[in-house]
Structure formats: structure tokens, C-alpha cells
Structure 1
Amino acid sequence: MTTVADLRTTTVASLAALADRHATGVLLGATGAVYLEAGRVAHAESPSAPDLGALLTRSAAVDPEGWQDALDRAGARRHVGRHLVDTGRLAAGALELCHLGALFDAAYFVLGPGDGHEPRFRTGAAHWIGTVRPVPVDVLVRECARRRVLLDRIWPRPETDTAPLARVTGAHPRALPARRQRILAEIDGERTAAQIASALAWRTFHTLVELRRLAAEGLVIPAPPRAAPDAPPADWLAPPVQDPDTALLRRLRDALEAL
């Protein structure tokens, strides 16, 4: 069973130490970045999870022109989220729920099993989305561990989380729920879970759940390996994604308000 100890220990330890110092800045690793504000997690992003802008625009929560306008007008001031709300393009509650979803989806990968690389911290750095609802580090760590336990119970091989995926030749699926059928239709031997989630404008975690179910049913496998691309640099930063689990995110938000 996955526990907190099975997460990327160097990253978790670094986050805990930064939280104790009430640090502000960004912790950079090979699989993404975690932004801290006064010791709390203000944002997280990873190339393995669609970013907030992609989720908002592809789900039609915000039109692409409105999103670009917010980036142009408020990105340099790190107030994109506030600008969306102040201009009436997005309700404050919808922003919080979408932001929490994107944050936890990305953190799942950033805090994944250890790879031996030490993360680096840049003091004072802030994300362009601005302050939405910072999350305590211990809440983030527990939620990532909970998600990993749930996924491992469905299918205990995590390759489907990040590898290009292919359909199993000759497999004939029984009647599948519509959600799983839509995901299966996106599998082409090249797309990863993140790319499928982005194409469908779905939360990454829910996409991972359905992909592991498809793997457990013998319908999906990692695609045969190709030449490995260059590894992303340790200071990777994504550029300046609905189907959210609204009940879970509202519970998380309520719990944060009670702290």
C-alpha cells in the first residue's frame, strides 16, 4: 500500500522544511514545480497534468480571448485569477474549485515516487495566477498519498499515468460506461494520460482512474517504447485545465477555511 513515505521523499522533506520557515518561492524539480506563499502551497504545475488555462478554456469556463486578455493585463502583476473574477469572466467559487483541481492534479506527479534528484528552491518567485486559496503542505501530501492508494487498488502498475498508451490488439470490450468509452477512443499509441485529459478538458486524476480501470480490464497497455526524448531540465516551468470532482474539492475548500 502506498503511504506518505512512498512519495518523493526529497520533495516532501523540502516542502515540510519550507513550510516551517513560512517560505515564499518556487520548488523546482524534474517533474514540475510547487509554489509556496508564506509556507503554504499556492500553486503546482507539471508537464504530466494539463495546466489551469487549458482546463478553463477547453471546458468553455473561460473563452480563449478572455483568458489571453487576463494573461496580457494581469500576468506580469501575478493577478490573473483576480482579474478573471473582477472582470466577471469567472465566478470566484468556480476559480477556487478549478484551481484546487489543477493544483492537486499536478502535485500528484511532483510528489511521485522518488527519482533521487534534489529539488531546487527559488526564493520570492510567484506564479502568474496569483493567490487563490493556498493549501497547507501536510494537506497536499496526504491527498497525494490518498490518490496513489486509490489508483493502486484499481491497477497496481503506474506506467499508465505517464506513458504513451495503446489499445490491446484483439481485445473486445464489454459494454463500457460512456466516460470510459470516450477515453478509449482517444488512445492512439502516442497520447499520454495528460494529453487525453487535455483533449477532453477533464481533470487528470479522473482520467487516471478510468485509464487504470481500462488497464485492469485488459484493454489498454503502455505503447511499445520509442527513442527517449531529452529529459526536461530540473528547473522546468510550464508557460503563462470539467468534470471536476466538485464534492471533494468543496470539502477540501471547507476544510481549509476551517483551519
Structure 2
Amino acid sequence: MIDDTTEPAAGSRNIPALLADLRSRKQSRTVRLTGSPGGTLHLRDGLVVAMETPAAPNVESLLLRSGRITEEAWSAVCAADTTHGRLAEELVAQELVGAGELEIISLSALFDAAFALSLSRPEGWEVTEPVPVLYRNAGITPERLVTEISRRTGLLAGGPGSVAEFARTRMQLAAPAQLPGAVGALPARHQDVLANTDGRRTPRDIAFALGRGLFAVMLDLRRLLALGLVQPTAPLTPQRPSTATRTPSAPVPAPPAAVPLPRRLPGRNAPTPAPAPPATGAP
């Protein structure tokens, strides 16, 4: 439990505002998001040092599924640290990954989790005392986090359907007869994405299969869509132009989610539940 002196202000009506409040008071906290997919945010002295969500590969998935570390080597590290409290240190000590590389991978996983979480609407959140984090970095400000989310969403915009809809759409090969000649000219990462596009997998599923970030896979799929090599299994809903009145930017802008984040009611620790997004179904 958190005492009254550290309770976030009642005005924290969404996650960016909550993180800005914790940042201004240099709090070390864990924020657990409920809903689908849900996730966990870790802050130290007001800086975000790690994020986890089932919607994007975490550090372990990036290391194992990409082939950077073998299952056997991973098992050996876990055996050497039965409490799993020093996995990062053991990975470096056994020279399976460099300290700098692990820092970069953990930061990549953090930004990818933030991007994935911005595509859905949390039902609520709970702020608790900080819990241990297996993989963390020096920390980033909430403002930088929101800026990076906006940048990634902007790079993926412009195609049919919203970025959020694209993330949960199953993809299939569009022209199998043309693939043999076209694939040879593609970068290896595009070829890997094509090899894992089977009509049942969403961009998230492909990211987990390859051990790559969700954003990176979605960016490659956008390119393959433009080349006519992949297509959604069902048509994406065309985006309507925005008619919202433009207002000056706030110090901490709202994240670029397809739907607004929930608002809190004074005196409550969780926001008013919002309708859950449509279920995507498992591939």
C-alpha cells in the first residue's frame, strides 16, 4: 500500500498525467495496468526504467527467439541464479551478452511495450511500491516516452485502417506466384517476415516468432503491403479524416492511442472502466 503522502494527485486522469506526477515528485513506483492486454510500468526516481506487456516481446523473448542466446545457455544462467534476482548480471558474467548490448535491448523492449500499450485502452491502474526488475536501464522521462510513441505511430500511419487495427489484423501472402522472384531482392528481415506470414498470425504473433519488436515488424509489414506482397485477411476499415479542433500542445501530450485513455474519479485508485476493445482472437 502507498501512504497518503505519496498518493498520486486526483488530477491524474490518464497514464501520461500519472507518470508526469510521479516524475515531478521523483517517486519510485510500479504501475500495474489492467485490461487487455494490460502491462506493468516500473519507475525509479520518477524515470521509467522498464515496461512489460503480453502485447510485445520482452527482453527474454528478444534474446531467445532471435537466437542471440540458446535455450541451453539460458537454462545454465537460470541454474546459476535460482532466485532469478541477478539474471542480467549472470548473462554478462558468462559473456553471453555484453552489458551495453543488454542495455540497448532493454531500452528497445521498453519503447516497444509503451508503443504496444498505446494501441489499447487500459481499464484501470494500480500504483504500488516498486518491485524488482530483471532487466532495466538508466531510465527515461515520461515526456520522451510519449514523444517516441508519437513518432512511431506517425511512421505507421497513412495506410488503410488505424495503427491499432493494423496491429491486431491477421496477415497473409498476397501473390504467392510472384514471391520467388521478388523475395530475392528484399532485405533479410523482410524475407523473415514473409516466411512467418501465414494468414493466421497478426503482427504481434510474427514479432514473437522472430524475436523482434512489434513496431519494427509492423513497419516491415507496411512496406510489404506497399509492395503488394502481403495483405490483410480481412479489409481494413478506411480511416476518416480528423475533424477535432486543434489546441495548443500540453506539457505532457496524450499518447497517440486510437481511443482516449480512461479518466479517474476523485477518491478512487482506478479509472472509470471503459468498454473493452474488440477481441482479436488467438491465431
TM-score normalised by the chain length of structure 1: 0.72
Residue 27 in 1 paired to residue 31 in 2? Answer: yes
Q: State the SS of the aligned residue for 2:14.
A: helix
For the Cα contact (< 8 Å) 2:30–2:130, is it kept in 1?
yes
Counterpart of 1:137 (choices 134, 139, 142) is 142
For the Cα contact (< 8 Å) 2:168–2:280, is it kept in 1?
no
**C-alpha distance in 1, partners of 2:103/2:191?**
30
The 1:195/1:229 distance shift into structure 2, 3 A limit, reads closer
The 1:69/1:141 distance shift into structure 2, 3 A limit, reads farther
For the Cα contact (< 8 Å) 2:56–2:112, is it kept in 1?
yes
Counterpart of 1:105 (choices 100, 112, 119) is 112
Within-5 A mapping of 1:92-131: 92-112=99-119, 115=121, 117-129=123-135, 131=136
Q: In the TM superposition, what is the alpha-carbon distance from 1:73 to its structure 2 partner?
A: 4.4
**C-alpha distance in 2, partners of 1:103/1:78?**
19
For the Cα contact (< 8 Å) 1:155–1:216, is it kept in 2?
no
Structure 1 equivalent of residue 153 of structure 2: 148
Within-5 A mapping of 1:30-69: 30=35, 31=37, 32-69=39-76
Deviation track 1:160-195 (CA, whole Å, cap 9, x = no partner) reads 223322334788568351332331221112112122
Structure 1 equivalent of residue 10 of structure 2: none
**C-alpha distance in 2, partners of 1:230/1:209?**
22
Q: In the TM superposition, what is the alpha-carbon distance from 1:146 to its structure 2 partner?
A: 0.8
1:183 aligned partner, one-letter code: V
For the Cα contact (< 8 Å) 2:175–2:228, is it kept in 1?
no
The 1:62/1:182 distance shift into structure 2, 3 A limit, reads closer
TM-score normalised by the chain length of structure 2: 0.66
**C-alpha distance in 2, partners of 1:75/1:119?**
31
Structure 2 equivalent of residue 195 of structure 1: 205
The 1:196/1:13 distance shift into structure 2, 3 A limit, reads same
Structure 1 equivalent of residue 256 of structure 2: none
Q: In the TM superposition, what is the alpha-carbon distance from 1:222 to its structure 2 partner?
A: 3.5
Deviation track 1:197-234 (CA, whole Å, cap 9, x = no partner) reads 22223333221101122233444344359x94789xxx
Larger Cα-atom Rg = 2
**C-alpha distance in 2, partners of 1:171/1:106?**
36
Q: In the TM superposition, what is the alpha-carbon distance from 1:120 to its structure 2 partner?
A: 2.2
* Identity within the alignment, %: 30
For the Cα contact (< 8 Å) 1:155–1:215, is it kept in 2?
no
Counterpart of 1:211 (choices 206, 218, 221) is 221
**C-alpha distance in 2, partners of 1:219/1:104?**
28
Structure 2 equivalent of residue 220 of structure 1: 230
**C-alpha distance in 1, partners of 2:85/2:233?**
39
Deviation track 1:10-65 (CA, whole Å, cap 9, x = no partner) reads 22222212222322232222332221122111111222211211211233322223
Unaligned runs of 5+ in 2: 1-12, 236-277
Q: State the SS of the aligned residue for 1:121.
A: strand
The 1:47/1:223 distance shift into structure 2, 3 A limit, reads farther
For the Cα contact (< 8 Å) 1:99–1:132, is it kept in 2?
yes
For the Cα contact (< 8 Å) 1:28–1:120, is it kept in 2?
yes
For the Cα contact (< 8 Å) 1:10–1:118, is it kept in 2?
no
The 1:230/1:180 distance shift into structure 2, 3 A limit, reads closer
For the Cα contact (< 8 Å) 2:78–2:84, is it kept in 1?
no
The 1:184/1:40 distance shift into structure 2, 3 A limit, reads same
Within-5 A mapping of 1:244-255: none
